Structure 1
Amino acid sequence: MKKIQLILSLSLLIQLGIAQDAHYWTEQFGTKSMLLSNSVVGVVEDLGAVYYNPARLALIDNAAFVISGKVYELNKLNVANATGDNAGASQNSSDFGGAPSLVAGTFSIKGWDNHNFAYAFLTRRRMNMNLNGMSDAYGSLIDPLPGDEYFSGELGISKQFTEEWIGGTWSYSKNKRYSVGVTGFVTIRNQESKSTSQLQAYNNEDVATYYNRKSYSFSNYGLLFKIAGAAKYEKLDIGITFTTPTMGLSGSGSFRYEQYFSAIPGSDEIYVRNLQKGVQSTFKTPMSVAVGFGYKLFGGTLMASAEYYTSIDQYNLMQGTEFIGQSNNLSYTPVLYDHLESVTNFGIGYNFVFSERVNGYISYSTDYSASTEENQNLDDNSMYLKASTFTSDINHFGGGIVLNLKKADITLGATLATSSYKMERPIDFPDGNGGSIVDPDEYSKVNWNRWRFIVGISVPFVNDIAKKWENKLTGEDK
């Protein structure tokens, strides 16, 4: 049984290594802003301003309505020596599809000449991670079972979340040099996670089985604000943005726990099952302050940004009620907690002006993990779970061109997010030769790469069309 328990505990290490759930700069908003890897707080020129710096909205000459922006995403994951089957064993996975993008537009209010307004719908963060491992072996693997046995096992980890923001922006500038602005966002966070272990063995007489499942899900609604200022000079643009912590509006979730075990001589059979719904949920986010500048240099613009995020002390995101296992009379209390460290990210980019109608962009930014590295209880009987688990840092690179045509701006480019790190081997099955299942010196190397290919169209004259229709409806064009 000891060997089986080791396999089960190791399966949870997958969760520690793959999920991108503790980063703040993983997404970019606005076509040019994506090419510049978040380095645009002081000089954002598209409707990404509603997120990066609301004050900049009043300084943009032709705020465009984003009518389409296609972003295609390729994720590639490689886990070298993942199962321990042999020195070269690895697991590879990839997927290709659409990526989250910004939908935004501007509008005006009659009589408010120096005031600018916008609305936005954006996917702040998103993740869909699934990793499964399976193996089988034959030999004397489980001590309580006499003789040799057939052994098979399957382990799985999945984690999904989406965080959608819906916002409105107000920005004011009296002289087109200094401006202030505020964006209010309603946030919607949905998250779920599941880990399962299923093992079975047969020795020509008895069949032994083990099944364990832990899962949770929650939904939270909140409200936050971005408060910003900006200044525009002949060669220098600067900006600052404060983001408030999320004020919770409502939230609830559920826990599910199952553990079944039978037919091992001398061991007690286990049946434990519990499902809890309607558990109160509270989701916290940090306060942050971002600063940035853009400086005209060598015929183009050099830009840089940095953003500091405060830490979040350990708290219970959800806590269920205590329950007693049906067969073993053990006490269980499901808890989902989180604990985030403070981090500072920075980005740098450059805008090449090749001609009046052609601009090029290149950039780099950091994306440090805020997840803490405290040890987690990997005991199968524990329901003390951590929400944010990815502790490795990510690097972002971006580049592309923007064609400024008469009737539209067309953006073509690509970005790369990459992370590479070592971790304890996540899955280790018996090899059937009587060897040790766990080698403390063995590691898996994890390589994660996300490519995004951007095709964006912005239409500056949409506001003029809207104004003409407004005049027709009000009779002002007569």
Structure 2
Amino acid sequence: MIERLLLFIFLILSLNASAQDTHYWSSNFSAGSFVMPGGVVANNRDSGVVFYNPALLAYSLKNSASISGNLYQWQLIKIANGTGTGKDLRSVYANIIPVMGSGTLHLNVGKAFTIGYAFLHDPQINYQSHQQGNSDVDIISQNESPGKESFLGQYAVQNKASYTSALLSVGFKISDKVALGFTGESGLRHYFYQAYYSSRAFRNTSTGNYPAYISAHDSYQADYYHLNMRFKIGLSYDEGKNHVGLLLTTPSMRLYGKGTILSDVELNNIQPSFLPEPVNLLANARQTNLSATWKMPVSVALGYARDFNNNKGQVNFTTEYFKNVPLYNILTATNDYFARGGAISALYSPQLLNLTDARRAVINFGVGVSYLLKPNVTGYASVRTDFSYASEALNKDNVGYQYNTTNWNNIRWQLGTNVKKRKFNLRTGFMFAYGSTNNYQQSINFDSPSEENILEGELGKTHAHHFSMGLLFAYIYNF
């Protein structure tokens, strides 16, 4: 009986957001992007001013500044039958945001070296969707309400995250073939998540003295800021046409983090068959100034590039490994959780309010090709994986809220050209990405609500996919 009662409680809080929030290589400035300036680990003879691998700054001998970003980006996320048959969850998002401003300063003081700096803004996800159910379903016991009942349900979810960072790098040669570099990065992550569902079933008029309807309601909101610091150590080796790069990125270190949790749960007159009497529950919490922790794991990236004959172009390979992150709480609820409703309230633990995270280990791969189309025009093309770190196995015993919306893998393509002039480089390009899964867990199903499942319906797996495309832009000015 206790086991079934606990399962009953956990089902109440099974709302989970699942749009590009579980990926490391989504950014156009990731190690495998190639088309955008500096998105490599091995030396690609690029004119970019900030490199993923700071050791490559040693090859930048000019003072320069740049701005790079998206002229336009459009993104679609669709979860087919997300809340029941024909009731899709769909989110469309477009933005026009320059995402990186950067520069280099070459110094001939003692041993020559180059300093790089950058300010980046990455709007990681902006997912919003909602649906409604309105039907006649046999929900309540025939003894209490013969025939089908009128059912009304609503579901809404919003998941928004952004990451803004400042980088300071230095790169210098330690021999004719070897360069070394270091980067310090400080980043601010802002995250907002909100999920809501409400389900009601109205009894038939001939039911006697029973209450007019039964209902279930659950809303949850989390909002936090997290400031962190991490470091990169890069190495570059060049031997004729061959170029090798190695990059180690440390785990993030928390500098500051604060967040808020807001929750409201209500159950009215719901009578599962395994309980002796109807359940009524009220639970409400608003917890502010909670300590927030958001983790980025250690990663190791390796790159290899080979020049074509006569330096007409290059082929570039990149891979990066990200370590797993065991289950932890981003926000941990305190014990001052208000719940009423007889014996059932004693089992309503504050742990159910925790905002959680867990990540499997990920290895991404990318390949890029550049070719000199004209003396001052170079063409670029690249493709890279963007695997999700979402993990059902690591979340198996999790009773809190998972923050992620996406759990599928993506493939990302880029095409572009670079026009080189004496004082500047102008690079434009096109990008698109696609990913899908047939194993996406529903958060609610308006097809099959019953008292046994707290009016949530029988949750199943469905199809979800993501598609995005955009125009890329980078302008580099040499002083």
Q: Give the alignment's TM-score, normalised by structure 1.
A: 0.82
Distance 1:376 1:32 in 2: 29
- What's the counterpart of residue 284 of structure 1? 295
Helix, strand or coil for the counterpart of 1:55? helix
The structural deviation recorded for 1:48 is: 6.0
Amino acid at match of 2:164: E
- Out of 302, 306, 315, which is 2:315 matched to? 302
Distance 2:420 2:321 in 1: 34
Amino acid at match of 2:431: T
The structural deviation recorded for 1:195 is: 1.5
Amino acid at match of 2:433: A
- What's the counterpart of residue 367 of structure 1? 386
Residue 237 to residue 31, structure 1, CA distance change in 2 (3 Å): closer
Q: How does 1:369-408 map to 2 (within 5 A)?
A: 369-374=388-393, 384-388=400-404, 390-408=406-424
Distance 1:25 1:38 in 2: 14
Distance 1:384 1:90 in 2: 25
- What's the counterpart of residue 477 of structure 2? 459
- Out of 124, 127, 135, which is 2:125 matched to? 127
Amino acid at match of 2:418: V
1:327 aligns with 2:341: yes
Distance 2:446 2:151 in 1: 9
Q: How does 1:196-235 map to 2 (within 5 A)?
A: 196-203=196-203, 206-235=212-241
Distance 1:424 1:226 in 2: 35
- What's the counterpart of residue 415 of structure 1? 431
Distance 2:38 2:61 in 1: 21
- What's the counterpart of residue 356 of structure 2? 337
Query: What does the per-residue CA deviation read over 1:119-152, in whole Å, with 9 as the maximum and x for residues that have no partner?
Result: 1111356111122121211354333545544321
The answer to whether the Cα contact below 8 Å between 2:39 and 2:51 also exists between their aligned partners in 1 is no
Residue 293 to residue 222, structure 1, CA distance change in 2 (3 Å): same
Distance 2:363 2:270 in 1: 52
- What's the counterpart of residue 275 of structure 1? 286
- What's the counterpart of residue 186 of structure 1? 186
What residue ranges of structure 1 are gaps of 5+ in the alignment?
464-478
- Between 140-149 and 127-136, report the one with greater CA deviation: 140-149
The structural deviation recorded for 1:383 is: 5.8
The structural deviation recorded for 1:209 is: 3.7
Query: What does the per-residue CA deviation read over 1:403-431, in whole Å, with 9 as the maximum and x for residues that have no partner?
Result: 11344222121112210111356242138
Distance 2:158 2:396 in 1: 19
What residue ranges of structure 2 are gaps of 5+ in the alignment?
206-211, 272-276
RMSD over aligned Cα, in angstroms? Answer: 3.4
The answer to whether the Cα contact below 8 Å between 1:39 and 1:304 also exists between their aligned partners in 2 is no
Distance 1:317 1:237 in 2: 40
The answer to whether the Cα contact below 8 Å between 1:10 and 1:428 also exists between their aligned partners in 2 is no
Distance 1:180 1:375 in 2: 37
1:428 aligns with 2:445: yes
The structural deviation recorded for 1:199 is: 2.0
Q: Percentage identity across aligned positions? A: 22
The structural deviation recorded for 1:237 is: 2.0
Helix, strand or coil for the counterpart of 1:84? coil
The structural deviation recorded for 1:302 is: 0.7
- What's the counterpart of residue 475 of structure 1? none
The structural deviation recorded for 1:210 is: 2.9
Query: What does the per-residue CA deviation read over 1:26-63, in whole Å, with 9 as the maximum and x for residues that have no partner?
Result: 11229995526996210255586645110101112446
Distance 1:64 1:263 in 2: 69
Amino acid at match of 1:41: V
Residue 22 to residue 72, structure 1, CA distance change in 2 (3 Å): same
Distance 1:82 1:169 in 2: 45
Amino acid at match of 2:475: I
Amino acid at match of 1:445: H
1:116 aligns with 2:129: no
Distance 2:27 2:220 in 1: 29
